[in-house]
Structure 1
Amino acid sequence: MTLPRWLLAGLLLCSGLQAAELRVCQHDASRYAYRLELIRLILERTTATHGELHVAAAHGVDPPQERCLAQLRAGMVDLAYVPPNAERLRDLRMIPFDLHAGMLGYRLLLIHREDAPSFARVQSLDDLRLLRGGFGSQWSDFPLFALNRLPVVGSSHPENLLAMLTERRFDYYHRALHEAWEEVGDHPERHPELMIEPGLALVYPLPVYFAFNRAEPELRQRFEEGLSLIQADGSFRELFLRHFGEQLRRSQLSQRRLLILQSDLPEGLPAADSRFWLQP
């Protein structure tokens, strides 16, 4: 006898053959390996209290950030990770915990090798304003250039920025510590004309929060509990340093001139706890 489709689906669900899945918007493992591993660690630590939940298999290419957030609002995905702003804090359920512990706010400059003497003379933001940066025009921190009166060339195709820097369309391209090493520092053969500037770093707050649809308060609560657990048992620190510890060491932030940028973040957000990796 052939069972009705609705009855078969119910039997499969009750028998546990269909595991619950968490739909994550940004699932590119090459780009988001750390964040995806962090999600899996949280789910593992909370299985006993909240049940089995697994990250759904990736399908297709990651959408742009704003489309991803639209999918989250519509309930098409369950989780995203994005920098906060006033609109996102109002419309979504966000956990005010920086997944990168403040690290993304420390930015190294990628420059043309021949321009190293010019950057060695930069002592202040006023000096940097004599040079021109390049950046992704759709990225959430792009408006900081205008806010800090820094000349910039914006590109809606950020995959072209390294080539544009090589062609001298602008003077520098600032990247997070791990990005700078992955894109240029560890692979000089890819862009032999470029280098990581050795004496400067830009600094501004750039937290990344877990974001959930407002219709899923239980999921947000589960992640809050999981974050508390992995901070308390040291596994968050272990995961972070396993992914970024070597790049942090090589960046030698304590020996760089730090240029502090004004930020446009909403007021009242908690400061990231960077004490376990940021050496004074």
Structure 2
Amino acid sequence: MGLRSGGQRFLLALFGIGLFASALTSAQTEQAHIAVKVQGTKLEEPSDYFTTLLIMALNASKAENEVIDIVFSERDYAQARWINMLQHDKSNFVIWTMTDKEREKQLRPIRVPLFKGLFGYRVLLIRKQDQVRFDKVKTLNDLGKYIGGQGTQWPDTPILQSNGLRMTTAETTELLFRMLNAKRFDYFPRGISEAWFELLQRDEPDLAVEENLLLYYPAAIYFFVNKENEALAQRIEKGMEILIDNGQFDQFFYNHPRFSSGMEKLKNRRIIYLQNPSLPPETPVNNPRYWIDLKRE
């Protein structure tokens, strides 16, 4: 009886080990869903440059059993609100914005420029009827006779002002488009990844990209996370480096409408150079791995 009981216990033990091993194997292969919040809204989901690139980077650096779930914002906010939200949110939350010294103190930057440094090249959105007026602009002093429009909390605004340009400000891009149409200011500087792309998306029959001028100041747009979420920062950074190494970043960048819609229209423009006193010294402006310099092209 004792021997049979011992044998039964032994068989039960083996059976238990088998169940444990089976459960462990199942747990190892079970998909782990990782939620990542972004500043993009659901309306931007199909073609948003930044969200798509972020997903590519996170997928490049994830484990085999991980699934990245992007959580879109229910509404859009002014840039200052996004930054404030991220400062107080230690979860997996990512925003994208132009860098400056103050933002790199507040947030954790992933220092891979998302537009290869081209974010510092600016064309001017104007009212179509004003092209004749802007044909006379040859220098920074000439441009200073007109009034531009910029976001209240955008880092571009103090850059432009520090170079002697007069700016009228508003909280959102939508409001700035309305103000330009209403003749509240004369021009709206936009990145070459933004200007033509935005005009294609919007019904703005009275606006156009000014034909002759190109502003330039060194600037980069990065992904940012909360300063205490180093794990997420490193995963995004690793993913971006993988995409650069395997060529997927260049393929995505050069073929995306935000880039292709603008680059072909930059030839023979007069470049007006500006200083950027807010540029962090760590910005990789001299590293061709991350930075395109149109002035040398």
Using the size of structure 1 for normalisation, the TM-score is 0.82
Matched, 1:227 2:245: no
Matched, 1:36 2:68: no
Match of 1:145 in 2: 160
Distance 2:207 2:97 in 1: 29
Distance 2:95 2:172 in 1: 22
For the 8 Å contact 2:42–2:74, the answer to whether it is kept is no
Q: CA deviation at 1:147?
A: 0.4
Q: 2:251 aligns with which of 229, 238, 246?
A: 238
Q: CA deviation at 1:148?
A: 1.0
SS at 1:20's partner residue?
A: strand
Match of 1:10 in 2: none
Q: CA deviation at 1:187?
A: 6.9
Following superposition of structure 1 onto structure 2, how do residues 209-220 of structure 1 map, counting pairs within 5 Å?
209-220=222-233
Distance 1:104 1:76 in 2: 28
**Compared with structure 1, are the counterparts of its residues 33 and 279 closer, same or farther at alpha carbon in structure 2 (3 Å cutoff)?**
farther
Match of 2:262 in 1: 248
Distance 1:131 1:30 in 2: 33
User: Percent identity of the aligned residues?
Assistant: 29
Match of 1:161 in 2: 176
Following superposition of structure 1 onto structure 2, how do residues 1-280 of structure 1 map, counting pairs within 5 Å?
16=30, 19-28=33-42, 30=44, 33-48=48-63, 52-74=66-88, 75-184=90-199, 186=200, 190-243=203-256, 244-252=258-266, 254-263=267-276, 264-271=278-285, 273-275=290-292, 280=297
SS at 1:178's partner residue?
A: coil
Distance 1:165 1:215 in 2: 40
Please say which structure displays the higher CA radius of gyration: 2
Regions of 4+ moved over 6 Å: 276-279
1:124-162 CA distance string (max 9 Å, x none) = 101111111122222221112320111222123431322
Structure 2 residue ranges without an equivalent (≥5): 1-26
For the 8 Å contact 2:33–2:69, the answer to whether it is kept is no
Distance 1:260 1:208 in 2: 19
Distance 1:58 1:269 in 2: 29
SS at 1:57's partner residue?
A: strand
For the 8 Å contact 1:28–1:62, the answer to whether it is kept is no
Match of 2:18 in 1: none
1:50-70 CA distance string (max 9 Å, x none) = x51413332411333333233
**Compared with structure 1, are the counterparts of its residues 152 and 245 closer, same or farther at alpha carbon in structure 2 (3 Å cutoff)?**
closer
For the 8 Å contact 1:71–1:77, the answer to whether it is kept is no
Distance 1:233 1:216 in 2: 26
For the 8 Å contact 2:110–2:222, the answer to whether it is kept is yes
Distance 1:258 1:122 in 2: 11
1:103-143 CA distance string (max 9 Å, x none) = 22111111222221221121110111111112222222111
Cα root mean square deviation, aligned: 2.9
1:51-90 CA distance string (max 9 Å, x none) = 5141333241133333323332331543222222323323
**Compared with structure 1, are the counterparts of its residues 18 and 236 closer, same or farther at alpha carbon in structure 2 (3 Å cutoff)?**
closer
Q: CA deviation at 1:41?
A: 0.9
Distance 1:197 1:107 in 2: 11
